Each structure stands twice: as C-alpha cells, then as structure tokens.
Structure 1
C-alpha cells in the first residue's frame, strides 16, 4: 500500500473515532481500537508494519515519547498537596506489588516461563496516558482521583519499560556467551543509566525553561525548538540505556510544567493537539497490525490470566498501596478498578518478544497477543464502567452540567438564581468579596478568588460545569478568562458580555480583538452597565415553555422587542444565545428571557387569574353535575 494513502487512512480512522466518541459520549480508546481492527485483521485494508517497513518501530517509539512528554507537561507539583502521598505510594510500593502479583499470575495461570513472566508482568504495571487521558475527559472525574490516575499513568509508563529492560539485561548479560556479568553489576549499571537519563531530562527541561524565559528563542520558534529538544532528549537517553528515553522525556515534561513559564499555556495547547493525533494514529496502527492468527492464538488459560489481572492483581496492589493515605475508601475502590493498558505496553511487549525469542525463550511469542488481550480487556471494561462507577461513588459529575459565572454583580446574581431554579448548578466567581454579596444573599454557591489563578484551578471542580459566562465589568478580563478557559470548557460554550453600552461589534478600535473574545452572550449586544441600569429599573428573568398553541411567534410578540433572550433549554440541554448566532425557540423548548417590568407584571397578573378561572370552571362543572343528577346545592 502507498505510504501516503496509509497515513491518510490512519489519520481519518483515528480522528474520526475520536470525533464519534465525543459526539456519542463513548470511550474514544474503544472506538479507535475498533477502527484499527476493522482496517487490519477484519477487512485487510492496512498492514502498517509491512507498509512502513523498518521505520515502523522507530515511528511508534518516537510517538510514545512525545505522548509521555505531553503528559508530563500536565503534572504540576501543586496538585500533590492533597494527593502527594497517594501518588508516591502508587509508584513505590505500588508498582512492585503489581509486578510481584502480576508475575505470579503470568507464571502460574498463563503458563509463561519465569523469565518471560517477569518481563511481561513488569510491562503490565503501566497505565499510560494514551488511555488514561481520553478516559478522564469522558468520565469528568473529581480532581483528586483524576490527579491520582493521571500521575500514576504518566510516571509508571517509563518505570514499566525499565522493569522489562532490567530483566532482559540481567538474562542477556549474565549469559556466559554475552559476558557473564554478575547480576549486581548489571543492576548497578542499569540504575546509573536510568539516573543519567532522568538527570538529562531535567537538565533539558531547565535549559528550555531558561531559554524561553530569557528570550533566547523567539515566539514563533518556541514550539519547533521544544519539539526538536524532546526528540533529541529521547534519542540521547536511549543511547545511555535502551528505553530510558521514556524516562528522560517524562522528566523533561514535568520540569517544564513546574518552571512557571509565561507561555506554557500556548505550548500546552499545541502539544495536546499533537498528542491527540499521535494517540489516535498509533493506536489505530497497533491494532491494525494484528493478524487473525494472533487473535485466535489466545487460550482459556490466557483468559483466566486477564481476569486475574483485572479482579485480583490491580485491586490488591492499588488498594494495599493506598492504605494509610488520605484517600477515601471510594477513591481506593475506583483506583483499584481503573488501570487500562495502552500503547506503551503493546509497543514494549513487541520489542522484547523478539529479543526474548532470540535468547531462547520460545514462549515469549505469546507476549504480543497477551498484551493486546490486556489492552482490549482493560480498555473495554474500564472505558465503559469508569463513568457509571465514578458517579455511583460520587467521584464524578452527576446530574446536569452547571454554569460557571465569572463576575459577580446584582444582575449576574439574579441570573444565577433563575438558573438554579431551573435545576442547573451555578458557581459565581469573583476576586471581590463585597461583589459576591448579592450572590450569597440569593443562596448561590460562590468562590472568592481570581479565576485565572493557578490556586483557583485546584479548588474549583471544573468538570461540574460545561458553560462559562464571563460577565464582569472589565471587558479585557472577560476576554482573557474566555481565552484561558476555552480549551477546558469548549470554545463554543464560553460567552462574555458585549464590550459596553453603544459599542457594536464593528467598532473594533474600542474593543478587544474579536479573535480573543468568547462568544457574545445574549440575543442583543448589551454591556454590564446597561444591564445593571435595566436591573435597577425593575427588569427581571422569566422562564417560558413554548408549545404548539403558544408558539415562538406568540412568545416573541408577548415579550416585546426590548426583551433579551438569554438561553433556550432544548432536549434537557441548556443552550445560551449569542447575538452573532441567534437561536429560534421551537415547541417543547423552555426559554429564559430578560424582560422589562411591564412583561413581568403582565405575567404575574395572568398567573393570579388562572386560579380564579380554575375555581369558576370547577363551580360550573359542579352545577352541571347537580342538574344532571336532580340534586340541588344548598
């Protein structure tokens, strides 16, 4: 197959699977695996190893290195204040518990020889970011369990690879034909190599941080320089010791993440985009590379081994490791179940299967099918259960997603109160305690602090909210909040007020650039000053249901041209209205509108007349009933 066509097919399948997963709220990693199986062993359209030839292995290795680096960029030490002990326990002694129990399962249940079982169980301690990150996006976990899973997945990935390297080197170099070195000498050499790789990664990270901070690299070259440095660190560390490059790039990513670089957000967004493409592509490639023979080579004993890894090894290792930490029993239960394996496990197994066969361990041929069995079992089991289990344990968002209001005022407090009446969670954030008073008086949940602060990120459960309303009186701050949180909240759901009274979208000289703003909130371009003026003149919020008899035209006529439509609830989803993209109400919608006092008064009078009409109808019905029965009412 032509390489260009193969790359195109892989890209379409991987990104397409990601999009379908987002659209249907399904585990992305499951759909990517299905896409790879369909392209490879099912329809035979793609065989990446044959298509790419000798560059297939290096391509996968470099992609894994970049994915691990991007994961390291998300690991900030500030997150460890609450879960630091838990993370340390999952790494030490957690990985050793998992390695020991996994070895027993692979040796006694899967029937592997002791050396092969040692290598395989070492690799299986990984729970990499290639599968953890998509699951975290899907499940919307609370910050503590999400932090634990993220740190464990990224830190343990290179450790699992190093376990395999350690066992292989001991077997290889202790053989008289290859030097006959003592195990202690080999161990010391491996420790030195891993230490050098880690130090090299840290130094590379410090060099990048200093270069960017001192202006040695122009803005337009920062991302290319960073990417080139990552590849260089990966390659050089692998020169120290095989697979040590994974350790180096992870250490480099963590170093840069905690260097407090001003441009870190832009770098993060670009690197995340690259990582998503690599995760999609590499996972499709690995699954497409399977053959029917590999899939059907698995036995009943192998199935029992997978079950033991799922229901015994992982729960015992994780829960035992977390004893004595400040994690709750619910968090330990979740951690004891969620441990999906991904690209690193398959890639490293593929590498060492060949090496072990060359050393004379024929059963190492089973490493690849067993690794894929573990990947598919864990991805399917954990991908479909993490959301329901987390909600059952109260460790994820439950019910309707809420609205985050950045900017406290009497007007935003009134809006928040109405949204709360509509059963949507609301959080009002402001750096002025005094400004939050109206929200507190209305019983709304508030947060006193700057929403753009790193400290705030660790105190607000952003997963509870899927919409941002930046409604402070500072237009530039509103734009900055929208720009900063758009990747977190989704740009289509970040809104801000218009620039101010009598300023239109076309008046570009007096407003923040349109490309930096969130979407314009409300059906008319109104600033906070004008909204506050209307608020103090008696305007208010009302919710109206549109029906077949009371259609959108009748509703718009009733509220008048001055009124402003804020949001429409459609199919149990709250859609905020923007003046740059109007939303026409339709039957069964509930419309939230900001209306003048005359409309509010008219509605109040109609609601008061309804009980009278009901009472009159009731008396009329009773009279007819009495007449029909021949009775008279005393």
Structure 2
C-alpha cells in the first residue's frame, strides 16, 4: 500500500492518461484499459485504495468531476445539430427511458432477487449511459452522423435523468411506506428539480451575457466558466442530492444554443479537462473496489441480470420507443445494442446503497457488485463491438485515413485526384464556386462553403478525414484554418503550404503555435506549386519493391522533382515535410510532382515506334 497521497495522485494520473495513450496507439476501448488499470492497482495488488485514503474528500472529488464532464458534454448539445433527429432523440430520452426503467426494475426484482423498493430505485439509475463512456466510444468508432448524434444526445440528456429517476423512485418508496411528512419531501424533490433547471439556465444566460458584453477578459473566461459550473452544481446538489447534474446540463445546453464565439475556444479547454477527469476518475472508482465485491460479481443472479439488461431490456426499449420514426432497422439495432454505463452509475449506486441499507433494505448490499458488473460488462462488450457491428450494419465510416484539402487550385485538384486514384478518401473545399470548377469537372468530391463558418460543422461531416491541408493563396488564412482545427485533427496532422516569398506579407516571424506544419518543404508555396502544374509537371506514382528500393528511387528522380507523400501498404498516408522524412518500404507507393521530361520521352518513343512501323510497311 502506498502511504503518500502525493504518490497516489501521481500513480492515478499516470495510469489514467497512460491507458488513454495505449488505447489510442492500439485502438482499444480506453475505458476498458482504465478499469483494468484501476483493478490491478487497487483490489488485486493493493497498491492504492482512493476511497479509504482520501476519506471525506473522495465523494466530493468524484461528484465535481462528474459535474464538469457532464457540463462539457452538454456544451455540444446545439439544437441545430439534432435537426432531423428531434423525434427519435425525444422518444428515446422519454418513452425509451421510461420503458427501460420499468423493464430494468422488473428484471432486478425477478432475476437479481432485489426487493421492489431497491429494484425500482436502481432500475431508474441504470437507464443512464453518459458522456464519460459514450463520447470516448464515439471517438474510437467512426460512426455515420445519425447514429453518432443519437447516442451522444441520449447519453448526455439521460445522464441526469437517470440519477433523478433513482431519487424520485426512492422518494416514492419512502412516501408509500412512511408517514405524512414524506409527502412534503416528495413535493420538495419536484420543486428542487425545477429550481435546478432554472439555476442552470440563469447561470448559462449570465455567463453568455458577461462574455458578449466584454465584462470578462479573454484570459479569465475559462476559469470563470469552471468556477460557475462548480457553484451551479454545488448549490443545486446541496438543496437536493443529484439535482446538481440536472443543473449543469441545463447550463451547458443554454450556452451551447446562445452561439457565443468564445464558447468554441473554451470548449477545447473543457474537453482537455474532461478527458483528464475521465481518465483519473475511472481509475479511482475501480481501485476503490474490494475483493469481496469482485467475487460477488460471479453470483448467478447478477450474471443473469446483466445478460438480460444487455440482450433484452435495452433492445426492446429502443425498438418500442422508435416505432414510426425514420430510423432504419440497422440504426435501431446499433443504438439498441450500444448502452455502456459509466461513472454516474457507479457513484450514485454507492450513494443509494448506503441510504437503502440505512432504511433497512438488506438486499441493497449487493448494489455495488451489481453496478460494477453491469458497468464493466457493458464497457467491454460495447467497446470492442461498436466498430465491428457498425461495419456489419453499414453504419461505419471506417476506412483509410482521409485528407481534407482547403483551397481550390490547379495543384490541389491534381493532388486530390491522385489521392482519389489511390483509394484515399479526399474532400476539396473552397468558399469560391469558381475555384472548385476544376474539381467538379474531374469528378472530385468537393464542398462549397467557408470552412471557418459555424454552419459548416452541421453540413460537413469531417469524421472520415484524419489530415487537413490548408492550401489557399493566403498564408495568413492558412495559418488561421490550421490553428482553428489543430484541436480536432492534432498538430501532427494539420498542414499548410510553405509561406510565400512576398516580403510585404512579413509572416516569417509567425510562431509555430499559430500555424500548421509546413507541407513538403520550405519554398513549396502556393505560387510555386501552381506554377509547376501550369507548366506541365505531373503527379507520378511509383511503387517501391525489393528490387527497386527507395534509395534507387531517390537516385533516379530529377532534381526538380518534389516529394509529396507516401501511401503505405497499410493504407496510411505520410506527407513529406521539413520535420519528418518518411522512407518508402516494400509495397509503398511514393507520389511526387515531377517535370514532364519522362512524359515527353514516352511520347517521343511512341512516335519513333510509329514512324518505324510505317517505314516497314512501305
């Protein structure tokens, strides 16, 4: 057992973030690795026990972390995004949640052997999925927009509803089995829930007003929002337990639909904080479990309950609630299967286990084991199956990493066509219809619109594209585009053309943090590349073999040739740039922009052959 709290914090952080890195590298579900890391550090090897070591600080830390995560998720709930999906989403989070509550409660009573009181309380809680588990899965699996948006909206909206439903069920039980004072507490519960929504709305409106009127400087906006989120959650939760989640959700949705420009900047900060919190909280929760709790999971009743929740309760609730909606059977099947439970289920279950035991319900002693069994099973099952099932149902955008090119020109059109011929997903965008004319005439997929416009994210699905190239004639615009999309694509995958040689631009001092990585090489500017294409330079594809190695290729190319990218035999694309120097291996395809010398040689050779054939016929 580690005695130092500082060392324990360090270990929790390393395990959480390390799990994220490993999951990204090997494409494993991150939550599975975090859970396993927590189990190894906690009940299995006994290195840490956060709940025991942190004492009274443990629950507040978990609660505040869940509040921030839920707020960050609700910042993405813009009603414009759900356009066309309003009816399915509404029915899933209302009728679907109610059906799931009833069926889950019946299953808990008849299969898990819980009393009616405990069954209906825990049945309300288990309707949640939540952003802590859904959002990482959606990042991992490239789903088509419709099912991805439905799962995201359901997870974020139902998260506070599930916690409130559990509280509501408990208050009803106390009312039916208690005295007249219980009626008052039931009314207080409804009043507190309404107050929580109002508090979240007013906090969101106040923050938006302060930002729009300039009452908060830029450097204080993120700290201000974080402080108000904590205050909003705490005030509501102190009035009535679990209403704080409803309050921060209302606040986030209010801000998301005010369309304040600075909210987009803060969203990146909140995403980073949320990712760190998810990584550490999952490790803390699983590390706090006991060996007895883990052994209790293998109880036949618990196994039967978990199986029915996965294969019966969830699919039935989705299919019944989406009758007469425009969702296809494939979409219903995918949404009906994907329902991982997460942090909210674990934390709230622990709270109700202690409360119900205090009220004399002895069967509540298995709630922690039951909850962890459901959480871990759903996280593993859904985490490893979402990609495979989406592909089988035709709802996946999984494929080779794609390239998003900004700026229509002769060069970008040729580059896009070459990528397309190599089966690499590519999209060429420009705000000028005229500049996209070459792409349209050559059948290249294009998008006419301003990439920096807020409306673009609602009409342009960027999921298939892993690389972004800003290749307009304006260096400052390219830098702005790259800076805007670095959080989404990553700095290593965001490129812009080399700065032009026009001295009046004076952009050489532009720091690297506010631009993309230089593509190809220094000096390969927009003017230079397009001049080459206009002068007849061609995009040449060369396959590297054991006989014709990359070294042979470099020796044979013209000194004026420009190396563009390597298409690996795995399907990945690696662009040449001043920072990296990829080398071609057996089976790779090297693409370069070459002078038309070889093309002229081929034409001349054909002419010679044709002339020789004519002479022989005479």
* The two structures share one fold, judged by TM-score above 0.5: yes
- Alignment counterpart, residue 41 of structure 1, candidates 36, 40, 43: 43
What's the CA shift string for 1:198-240, capped at 9, x where partnerless?
Answer: 1100100111111111111111111111111011001101122
**Greater mean deviation of Cα atoms: 563-572 or 419-428:** 563-572
Q: Which residue of 2 aligns with 1:309?
A: 309
Separation (CA, whole Å) in 2 of partners of 1:171 and 1:163: 12
Q: Could you tell me whether the CA contact under 8 Å between 2:399 and 2:464 is conserved in 1? A: no
Q: Could you tell me whether the CA contact under 8 Å between 1:174 and 1:181 is conserved in 2? A: no
Separation (CA, whole Å) in 2 of partners of 1:267 and 1:2: 34
Separation (CA, whole Å) in 1 of partners of 2:425 and 2:322: 32
**Deviation (angstroms), 1:588:** 3.4
| Unaligned residue ranges in structure 2 (runs of 5+) | 610-618
Aligned with 1:195: secondary structure?
Answer: helix
Separation (CA, whole Å) in 1 of partners of 2:348 and 2:167: 10
Separation (CA, whole Å) in 2 of partners of 1:41 and 1:606: 76
Residues 1:210 and 2:209 are matched in the alignment: yes
Q: Which residue of 1 aligns with 2:351?
A: 351
Q: Could you tell me whether the CA contact under 8 Å between 1:525 and 1:579 is conserved in 2? A: no
Separation (CA, whole Å) in 2 of partners of 1:503 and 1:145: 50
**Greater mean deviation of Cα atoms: 584-593 or 409-418:** 584-593
Q: Closer, same or farther in 2 for the Cα pair 1:546/1:602, shift >3 Å?
A: farther
What's the CA shift string for 1:305-349, capped at 9, x where partnerless?
Answer: 101000000001012112222222211111100000000000000
**Deviation (angstroms), 1:605:** 7.3
Map 1:240-251; keep pairs closer than 5 Å: 240-251=239-250
What's the CA shift string for 1:17-38, capped at 9, x where partnerless?
Answer: 0000000011001101110111
Separation (CA, whole Å) in 1 of partners of 2:606 and 2:197: 71
**Deviation (angstroms), 1:600:** 3.9
Aligned with 1:78: secondary structure?
Answer: coil
Q: Which residue of 2 aligns with 1:588?
A: 587
Separation (CA, whole Å) in 2 of partners of 1:479 and 1:269: 18
- Alignment counterpart, residue 563 of structure 2, candidates 562, 565, 570: 565
Q: Which residue of 1 aligns with 2:612?
A: none
Q: Closer, same or farther in 2 for the Cα pair 1:561/1:67, shift >3 Å?
A: same
Q: Which residue of 2 aligns with 1:522?
A: 520
Separation (CA, whole Å) in 2 of partners of 1:150 and 1:30: 19
Q: Which residue of 2 aligns with 1:195?
A: 194
Separation (CA, whole Å) in 2 of partners of 1:608 and 1:389: 56
Q: Which residue of 1 aligns with 2:254?
A: 255
Residues 1:171 and 2:169 are matched in the alignment: no
What's the CA shift string for 1:520-576, capped at 9, x where partnerless?
Answer: 111343121221111111011011122333223332232222111110123421111
Separation (CA, whole Å) in 1 of partners of 2:440 and 2:509: 31
Q: How many residues align?
A: 605
Q: Which residue of 2 aligns with 1:300?
A: 300
Q: Could you tell me whether the CA contact under 8 Å between 2:470 and 2:496 is conserved in 1? A: yes
Map 1:481-492; keep pairs closer than 5 Å: 481-492=481-492
Structure 1 length as normaliser, TM-score? 0.92
Q: Which residue of 1 aligns with 2:282?
A: 283
Structure 2 length as normaliser, TM-score? 0.94
Q: Which residue of 1 aligns with 2:541?
A: 543
Q: Could you tell me whether the CA contact under 8 Å between 1:523 and 1:582 is conserved in 2? A: no
What's the CA shift string for 1:414-471, capped at 9, x where partnerless?
Answer: 1111111111111111111111110111111111111122222122221111111111
**Deviation (angstroms), 1:364:** 0.6
**Deviation (angstroms), 1:603:** 6.6
Q: Could you tell me whether the CA contact under 8 Å between 1:402 and 1:466 is conserved in 2? A: yes
Q: Could you tell me whether the CA contact under 8 Å between 1:74 and 1:257 is conserved in 2? A: yes
Q: Which residue of 1 aligns with 2:104?
A: 102
**Deviation (angstroms), 1:584:** 3.4
What's the CA shift string for 1:108-157, capped at 9, x where partnerless?
Answer: 11110000000111000000111101100000111111111111101111
Q: Closer, same or farther in 2 for the Cα pair 1:362/1:554, shift >3 Å?
A: same
What's the CA shift string for 1:360-389, capped at 9, x where partnerless?
Answer: 000011111000000011001100000011
